Chains A and B, each alone.
Chain A
Amino acid sequence: MQTSIIPQLRDTPDGEEADRILRACTHCGFCTATCPTYQLLGDERDSPRGRIYLIKQVLEGEAPTQKTQMHLDRCLTCRACETTCPSGVEYAKLADIGRDLVDQQVERPVHERAIRWLLRHIVAYRNRFAFFFRLGHFFKPLLVGPLAPLKQKMPPRRKALAWPKNDNATRTMLVLDGCVQPVAAPNTNAHAARIFSQLGVQLIAPKASGCCGALSQHLSHREEANDFARRNIDAWWPYIEDGAEAIVLTASGCGASVVEYGHMLRNDPAYAEKAARVSELARDLSDILAQEDLSQLGDLGHGRQVAYHPPCTLQNAPQLHDNVAEILAQAGYKLTHVRDSHLCCGSAGTYSILQPTMANQLRENKLASLNAGDPDVIVTANVGCQLHLESAAGVPVRHWIELLEPSAAAA
């Protein structure tokens, strides 16, 4: 596609990258077919191709308004479009650049700014989030009137399981604890640690690590995201030097972010090399388990019906590999057929909070597809999807790793 980016942007790193990405786009429209928002709304401006165009016009010097901002906000960044793009357009990278650029020029209304600030300054910090999470549960009865929707968004409190002792472990791997997951679904990593322990692998979650940075990245604070990345790299680096084999990502949303560290910090001389190494080591939980001998786990499923929702981040981030279905089948579960499994459930990081109408519509469609096969349980591989679906599912929604533990599997 022809481009004419304005001179003041053209030679910046963002401008160069945006130009490179835009030039690859041929405007064929294949991306519209897999875009959840275009499929719902049928408006070119809510399709990847339309958003590319909206971003292009900003790069070419047109002043955006709240309308452009809204259409960019409505994008889930699920990256389904990237999988159908024959020209290799790196849409998500362009969207990040575009959102930043638009947010610099279009001021958001106060309430939007407030929500975004809170998301960045509370949710992204495990302890702060935990505090408000407890507080929320305490005041739950008071969530009425306009605050009532929050009640539905609030996941149940769960009792934390103990981590294994790992006396016999001969190998070590790192695991990202993140921000929301340890509070809202504390047992995902605990389950993973117990299963890895059976396989002779010790999982380590360094205290100093935290949010992967995706939250800030998608809220147009890319420098803040880079800081989160640096913090995690610092926390992991000593272990990596000590021979940790991999960084296990149990939430694919975080995974998609960590595998990008190399790209995010490529221009930071102090971190570029370490970040690239971290991205190399980062792998999805299912990808790592697929390499291990799981036969010792035995038949856990006894033919129970499972509907699997593969998170977009796991399907679409090119560096992550999804082996969940194969592992569950091997463990004796029967996977139901799920229509349109490429479509996003609407969770998409902070999306379900910022775009509740779209998110709920997508969730409704997703649950209809998931429930069509009459499953005993719905599983997914990302805490965001898990919580979002759980709040309306009518069937238990779990992280799939839980199904590999005999105690949990039976429950």
Chain B
Amino acid sequence: MADAAIADAAEKVLASRPDKAQLIDKLVAELPEHVVLHAEEDLRPFECDGLSAYRQLPMIVILPETIDQVQTAMRVCHANDVAVVARGAGTGLSGGALPMDNGVLLSLAKFKQILDIDTENRRATVQPGVRNLAISEAVSHLGLYYAPDPSSQIACSIGGNVAENSGGVHCLKYGLTTHNIVQLEIVTVDGERMTIGSEALDTPGYDLLALMTGSEGLLGVIVEVVVKLLPKPERAQVVLAAFDDVRKAGDAVAAIIQAGIIPAGLEMLDSPAIIATEEFVHADYPTDAAAILLCEVDGTHAEVDEHIADVTAVVEREGATEVRVSRDDAERAVFWAGRKAAFPAMGRISPDYYCMDGTIPRKALADVLIGIGELSKKYGQRVANVFHAGDGNLHPLILYDANIEGELERTEEFGGAICELCLEHGGTITGEHGVGVEKIDQMCVQFPPDELTQFHAVKNAFDDKGLLNPGKAVPTLHRCAEFGAMHVHNGELPFPELERL
């Protein structure tokens, strides 16, 4: 049966023990020596991405400078059955670029060129290592910008954005990465170059662009991206509303949407998050509030006026204790600066934090927040909440100290409980950060075995040896069996045939 063979391939790659010295020889025979790193001293800085709780020294790091070199690297690895983990800026929060001790880490960070800006079609062709924000900066003088803006946009690269289908503050109105790209160049697992999507708005055959986006590096290596550019709104303004109760803030979110307004961004910070970020940005956030909402509306001058009045009325009706409207772009930037730096700013109040990413229906916001508060008491760990309220995309940040033994494990367990809470409310375990290694066990809760098997089969169509980023995004059925807390379908325990450890 095909399914078993597919699962087998993944397990085999994870357990493989390639001959490192031999592989180095084969790589440097075809690649310049300086692009192949293999001494521990050189490898160490690559051992984790933005999720530093998970670390693994890679066997080899390749830093290619041309697409040719990427193809060569892939060809050599494929011929030698060696796994490849692609990495962009290394800002991911789910360990999607966590290296393997028996695999190659392929860094695309040297691909930093913006290759073409096409104002007529409102597109930019960029290499995968180009920073998200650098695109908007490069086209700003043309009155254009690239809409998806993950909070790490200053540093994260577009290749990683595509691999994770990154969202951001403005995706309620402007969509995710998948809505804002038209074409990809990829290198397949065996080193072939391929175009996905087209310069037109659609492509004959299957919509592989949708499939590639968010596939976490399991289907191909992205080497070029054509993004859509949008005209910059005439004006944007932010309403900052403070609440003395998290529930009121949650209800205000639903009320804004129900009023028929699609804000450009609708974000929420709870009290610990307000205090930590205020210390960094000095945005004059009300530090005594239980929660604040940041609601941005954009468009023409008249449109913004119309919506600001609407939003102000709604939040006041919902019991906001304080409402401020940004006076100019500088103040608007300051309001957002706190939100965008909120995750790492936790470094100021806690040595480590663990960032969750569940998405839930908006109506469940208040209930889930209160549920998280209860879990926080149960686990005895602090949580700060910073999130895309408009999308129902939560980012609870569990604060912990990795130097204290057992804290990380307790934190992971707490995180798992939050994922499950989101699923109970009809949500998903990850809205925009990806599954990576971090949420791989929760995938077993979200998806029954048939769905997981289907995912593996799709993967197999692109990568029959299972060499691309194995062990990420989609758990093997064995792993789910070991995890134990599996999706229970019709009261039956799944995988009855598998031995439990």
Contacts and interface: CB of A to CB of B under 8 A. Distances in A.
A87 interface: yes
A380 to B, nearest CB: 23
Contacts, number: 120
Interface stretch (A27-35, A320-328, A354-362): A27-35
Contact of B91 (A29, A53, A57, A84): A29
Contacts of A68: 41
A26 B129 contact: no
B107 A44 contact: yes
Given A30-B152, A30-B154, A45-B45, A2 B131 contact: no
Interface in B104-137: 107, 109-112, 129, 131, 133
A89 interface: yes
Nearest to B280: A86
A32 B52 contact: no
Contacts of A43: 63, 107, 109-110
Interface string B65-92: 0000000000000000000000001110
Given A27-B48, A28-B343, A44-B90, A65 B41 contact: yes
A67 B44 contact: no
Nearest to A30: B155
Nearest to B133: A33
Nearest to B46: A44
A2 B52 contact: yes
Given A30-B155, A57-B41, A24 B109 contact: no
Nearest to B111: A42
Given A2-B52, A45-B45, A39 B89 contact: no
B416 interface: no
Given A27-B48, A33-B154, A86-B344, A42 B42 contact: no
B22 interface: no
A26 B343 contact: yes
B344 A28 contact: yes
B233 interface: no
B222 interface: no
Given A1-B52, A26-B352, A54 B45 contact: yes
Contact of B344 (A23, A62, A85): A85
A64 interface: yes
Contacts of A26: 50, 52, 343-344, 346-347, 352-353
Determine the main DSSP class of B at the interface with A: loop
A365 interface: no
Q: Range of interface residues on chain A?
A: 35 or more
A49 interface: yes
Contacts of B403: 2-4, 23
A44 B61 CA distance: 11
A190 B39 CA distance: 53
Contact of B155 (A3, A4, A33, A51): A33
B36 interface: no
B155 A53 contact: no
Contacts of A32: 89-90, 155
Interface string B18-57: 0000000000000000000001111011111111110000
Interface in A42-91: 42-45, 49-51, 53-54, 57, 62, 64-65, 67-68, 84-89
A259 interface: no
Most chain-A CB neighbours within 10 Å: which of B50, B343, B351? B351
Contacts of A50: 45
A1 B41 contact: no
Contacts of B280: 86, 88
A64 B41 contact: yes
Interface string B395-407: 0000000110000
B94 to A, nearest CB: 14
B91 A42 contact: no
A2 B44 contact: no
A25 interface: yes
B341 interface: yes
B97 to A, nearest CB: 11
B42 A24 contact: no
Given A29-B50, A65-B41, A87 B89 contact: no
A34 B154 CA distance: 9
Contact of A29 (B44, B53, B89): B89
A53 B40 contact: no
A29 B90 contact: yes
Contact of A39 (B112, B152, B348, B351): B112
Interface string A3-45: 1100000000000000000011111111111100001011111
B345 interface: yes
Contacts of A25: 347
B473 to A, nearest CB: 21
Nearest to A64: B41
Interface string B379-406: 0000000000000000000000011000
B44 A54 contact: yes
Given A29-B155, A32-B155, A86 B341 contact: yes
Interface in B314-364: 341-348, 351-353
B41 A27 contact: no
Contact of A44 (B109, B131, B344): B109
Contacts of B107: 42-44
Interface in A324-361: none
Nearest to B132: A33
Contacts of B154: 30, 33-34, 84
A89 B348 CA distance: 9
Interface in B129-185: 129, 131, 133, 152, 154-156
A29 B345 CA distance: 13
Given A28-B152, A30-B155, A39-B112, A88 B50 contact: no
A86 B348 CA distance: 8
Contacts of A54: 41, 44-45
Contacts of A62: 40-41, 44
Contact of B345 (A3, A23, A34, A87): A87
Contacts of A29: 49-50, 89-91, 152, 155-156
Given A2-B402, A62-B44, A89 B129 contact: no
Most chain-A CB neighbours within 10 Å: which of B63, B109, B341, B344? B344
Contacts of B44: 53-54, 57, 62
A335 to B, nearest CB: 17
Most chain-A CB neighbours within 10 Å: which of B45, B63, B154? B45
Nearest to B89: A29
A327 B343 CA distance: 37
Contacts of A24: 347-348, 351
A2 B53 CA distance: 8
B347 A89 contact: yes
B134 to A, nearest CB: 8
Contact of B45 (A3, A53, A85, A86): A53
A87 B346 CA distance: 7
Contacts of A57: 41, 44
Contacts of B348: 24, 87-88
8 contacts: A2-B352, A24-B348, A30-B152, A42-B110, A45-B45, A49-B45, A57-B41, A67-B41
Interface of A: 1-4, 23-34, 39, 41-45, 49-51, 53-54, 57, 62, 64-65, 67-68, 84-89
Closest 6 CB pairs of A and B: A87-B347, A42-B110, A86-B341, A2-B402, A86-B344, A27-B52
Given A26-B344, A26-B353, 20 more contacts: A2-B403, A4-B403, A23-B403, A26-B347, A27-B49, A28-B152, A28-B155, A28-B343, A29-B90, A29-B155, A30-B91, A33-B154, A33-B155, A42-B109, A43-B107, A44-B107, A53-B45, A57-B41, A62-B41, A88-B348
